Amino acid sequence: MENFLATISLVSQMATDDYVGFTFFVGCMAMMAASAFFFLSMSSFDKKWRTSILVSGLITFIAAVHYWYMRDYWAGFAESPTFFRYVDWVLTVPLMCVEFFLILKVAGAKKSLMWKLIFLSVIMLVTGYWGEAVDRDNAWLWGLISGVAYFVIVYEIWFGQAKKLAEAAGGAVLSAHKTLCWFVLVGWAIYPLGYMAGTPGWYSFIGDWGLNMDVIYNIGDAVNKIGFGLVIYGLAVAQSSEK
């Protein structure tokens, strides 16, 4: 009860024109609604697709919980919740990589592909956090390492083994794979841009977007994570209809 009252108190402190806080609140509610949708729809599909839908629900549920904390942090300190955001990413981004493996299992994808993508995503996020929050003097170096890991992921899904498996599967799987690839290439691009805008060094030409980057991150997170799940949901519906 005390925690609930404390939360109400923090929310009441938000100004009516606090559009940053508003996006934290909307992001939290959107992620929670998406989680409920994915979890409740699981029973509608064959077993082979239930795991994919479950992972989609877990991604948005984890994000919803972290956005709850990030919203309170913003309300209390009016500072970007960098720590909570990276904790969210280090849990949800690898799960988004797992989705590629799950949809490509029908074409014979091996777990080595899944672990490769997970490893690259963790490297991308850990080095990104280190450069943004711990060793800002060398942010350019950590950002470079993070960027290399990101582009290896992009290459793998667009041109590497994942692409070959998607082409072998064909049909709805290939279409879903292409859509997820675009999410990674375009949707995920906001994260390195935000890193460059928020850290000193070689990337200063990007400009200082200040706390407004939180708005971009919040909108991007909702679009990327919910969008990922809806693509998987659409694939499960298509495959079930074909059967």
Task: Please tell me the predicted confidence (pLDDT) of residue 211.
Answer: 46
pLDDT in tens, the chain (243 residues): 555 445 545 555 666 667 888 899 999 999 999 999 999 999 888 888 999 999 999 999 999 999 999 998 988 888 889 999 999 999 999 999 999 999 999 888 899 999 999 999 999 999 999 998 899 889 889 999 999 999 999 999 999 999 999 999 989 999 999 999 999 999 998 888 778 777 776 555 555 554 467 888 898 899 999 999 999 999 999 887 665
Structure tokens at 32: 């929670």
Torsion of CA 150, 153, 154, 160, to 10 degrees: 150
Cα dihedral across residues 20, 123, 142, 205: positive or negative: negative
Domains in the chain: ranges and CATH = 2-242 (1.20.1070.10)
Task: Please tell me the predicted confidence (pLDDT) of residue 5.
Answer: 46
